[in-house]
């Protein structure tokens, strides 16, 4: 898939997705809080894995991520969401990938 040729339109759509990824991750993390309150015990491990990945992408300190995952308390995860929304936790700037040479 790495060698796949995308149209210019498709490249712009993909680029906009990654430009807005922190906002998408922030929204998804807040949705996960509600899902964790309502989820069955069978679904919770997968939801916690998703929460871990999103918290790390958003720049949450690893010690805090470990604390949230150790307690597995949705209320503590909600505090992380609150800190992200208030700006106390800021997303890492996206890594700039070098553009391939134009042909």
Q: Which residue has the tokens 């712009």?
A: 12
Residue 80: other Cβ atoms inside 10 A: 23
Closest CA to 81 of 43, 44, 37, 39: 37
pLDDT per residue, tens digit, the chain (103 aa), is 555 789 999 999 999 999 999 999 999 999 999 999 999 999 999 999 999 999 999 999 999 999 999 999 999 999 999 999 998 888 766 566 656 555 5
Cα→Cα distances 83→9, 52, 65, Å:
35, 15, 13
Q: Is the pTM of this model over 0.95?
A: no
Q: Are the C-beta atoms of residues 51 and 58 closer than 8 Å to each other?
A: no
């Amino acid at each position: 898939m790495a060698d796949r040729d995308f149209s210019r339109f498709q490249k712009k759509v993909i680029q906009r997705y990654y430009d807005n990824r922190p906002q998408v991750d922030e929204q998804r993390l807040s949705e996960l809080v509600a899902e964790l309150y309502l989820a069955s015990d069978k679904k919770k491990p997968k939801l916690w894995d998703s929460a871990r990945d999103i918290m790390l992408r958003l720049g949450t300190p690893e010690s805090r991520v470990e604390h949230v995952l150790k307690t597995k308390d949705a209320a503590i995860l909600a505090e992380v969401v609150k800190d992200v929304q208030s700006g106390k936790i800021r997303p890492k700037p996206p890594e700039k990938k070098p553009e391939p040479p134009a042909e």
